[in-house]
Amino acid sequence: MPRNTQIVLDNRPQGAATEGNFRLIATDTPPLTDGQVLVRHHYLSLDPYMRGRMNEGKSYAACQPLGEVMIGGTVGEVVESRHPRFAAGDKVVGMGGWQEYSVVDGNAPGLLRKVEGGPVPLSYYLGAVGMPGVTAWYGLTQIIAPKAGETVTVSAATGAVGSAFAALAKARGCRVVGVAGGPQKCRYATEELGFDACIDHRLHTDVKSMSRALKDACPDGIDGHFENVGGTILDAVLLRANAFARVALCGMIAGYDGAPLPLQNPALMLINRMRVEGFIVSEHMQLWPQALQELAALVVAGTLHPRESIAQGLASAPAAFIGLLHGKNMGKQLVKLI
Integer Cα distance of 165 and 135 in angstroms: 9
| Tens digit of each residue's pLDDT (9 = 90 or more) over 176-203 | 999 999 999 999 999 999 999 999 999 9
CA angle 149, 152, 157 (to 5 degrees): 135
What is the structure's pLDDT at 256?
Answer: 76
Q: Quote the pLDDT of residue 58.
A: 73
Per-residue DSSP letter, 162: H
Q: How confident is the model at residue 137 (pLDDT cuts 50, 70, 90)?
A: very high
The structure's pTM equals 0.92
Q: Where are the domains of the chain?
A: 3-127+307-336, 131-282
Burial 293-306 (b: 16+ CB within 10 A, else e): ebbbebbeeeebbb
Give the pLDDT confidence score for residue 236 in this predicted structure: 97
Please state, in angstroms and rounded to a whole number, the distance separating the CA atoms of residues 80 and 36: 9
Per-residue HEC secondary structure of 265-332 comes to CCHHHHHCCCEEEECCHHHHHHHHHHHHHHHHHHHHHCCCCCCEEEEECHHHHHHHHHHHHCCCCCCE
Predicted confidence (pLDDT) at residue 299 exceeds the cutoff of 80: yes
Q: What is the CATH number of domain 3-127+307-336?
A: 3.90.180.10
Report residue 17's pLDDT band, with 50, 70 and 90 as the boundaries.
very high
- Measured in whole angstroms, the distance separating CA 22 from the mean position of its chain's CA atoms is 21
Q: What is the pLDDT of residue 225?
A: 98
Which helix (H) or strand (E) segment is 246 a member of? strand 241-249
For residues 143-161, give the mean pLDDT.
97
Q: Is the pLDDT of residue 156 over 80?
A: yes
Summarize the confidence of residues 316-325 as an average pLDDT: 97
pLDDT band at 56; cut points 50, 70, 90:
confident
Instruction: State the pLDDT confidence band at 57, using cuts at 50, 70 and 90.
Output: confident
Specify the fold of 131-282. Rossmann fold (3.40.50)
pLDDT at 61: 76
